A = this chain, B = another copy of it.
């Protein structure tokens, strides 16, 4: 039976609607860090409050999008006035669970890995890259940005060191194997820079960034006649 009768369909629809009543759109979650980044910057500039319109202009998005996104979580602003930047920042951090410091491990201290270690942008979101691993004996023991590179065999110590996030910056051939070991080590979230799909147990979240792939869709959007001949 492929087409259930009308009443059955409507019943199912109602059930699903109730179940998902307060479901947060993934796109909203994707945008929250954008808002947070802007708010942190504005706070740094000494700004104390802002309207959705001004924030929208600043971030080059729509004001109703911002209000709608916030509305999924409650009422954060004051009608007729706007938002207190400090309070709003705290709320968003709470939603994203960024209100505690997250200790992260980096695996693969090559070109990209070293750049990640040196990248100054993680701190504002409360991340602390607390460990680095590699399989190259020449790198093990060396210090990069106050972090001593350890042998990958030490990955099983992550759990007791309260490290629950990992960044994979190894060659694609060993990405899956690295992920497996991270999961064994108790890691619950992975930021993967290897250009491949990674299989993990359902409870672990993986976000993959493939910088070449992002570049690959640029030419499509570029006006014709402007491509190199």
Determine whether A111 belongs to the interface, using a CB cutoff of 8 Å to chain B.
Answer: yes
Given A102-B227, A164-B226, A221-B205, A125 and B215 contact (CB-CB distance below 8 Å): yes
Given A189-B222, A212-B124, A222-B188, A217 and B30 contact (CB-CB distance below 8 Å): yes
Number of copies: 2
Minimum-distance CB pairs A-B, first 8: A121-B212, A189-B218, A97-B219, A115-B115, A205-B221, A33-B216, A111-B115, A111-B118
Given A102-B227, A119-B112, A96 and B219 contact (CB-CB distance below 8 Å): yes
Main secondary structure of the interface of A (DSSP, over half): mixed
User: A218's contact among B32, B162, B205, by CB below 8 Å, is which?
Assistant: B205
Determine whether A210 belongs to the interface, using a CB cutoff of 8 Å to chain B.
Answer: yes
Question: Could you give, for residues 74-115 of chain A, a 1 whenever the CB lies within 8 Å of some chain B CB and a 0 otherwise?
Answer: 000000000000000000000111101111100000011011
A8 to chain B, nearest CB (A): 24
Q: How far is the CA of A96 from the CA of B203 in the complex (A)?
A: 35
Q: How far is the CA of A167 from the CA of B218 in the complex (A)?
A: 11
Question: How many A residues touch B, CB cutoff 8 Å?
Answer: 65
Across the two chains, which residue of chain B brings its CB closest to A224? B97
Determine whether A13 belongs to the interface, using a CB cutoff of 8 Å to chain B.
Answer: no
Pairwise interchain contact B96-A188, C-beta atoms closer than 8 A: no
Determine whether A147 belongs to the interface, using a CB cutoff of 8 Å to chain B.
Answer: no
Determine whether A2 belongs to the interface, using a CB cutoff of 8 Å to chain B.
Answer: no
Given A98-B219, A163-B228, A220-B95, A209 and B211 contact (CB-CB distance below 8 Å): yes
User: A188's contact among B118, B205, B211, B223, by CB below 8 Å, is which?
Assistant: B223
Residues of B within 8 A of A170 (CB): none
A218 to chain B, nearest CB (A): 4
Residues of B within 8 A of A98 (CB): 216, 219
Pairwise interchain contact A165-B59, C-beta atoms closer than 8 A: no
Q: How far is the CA of A118 from the CA of B113 in the complex (A)?
A: 12
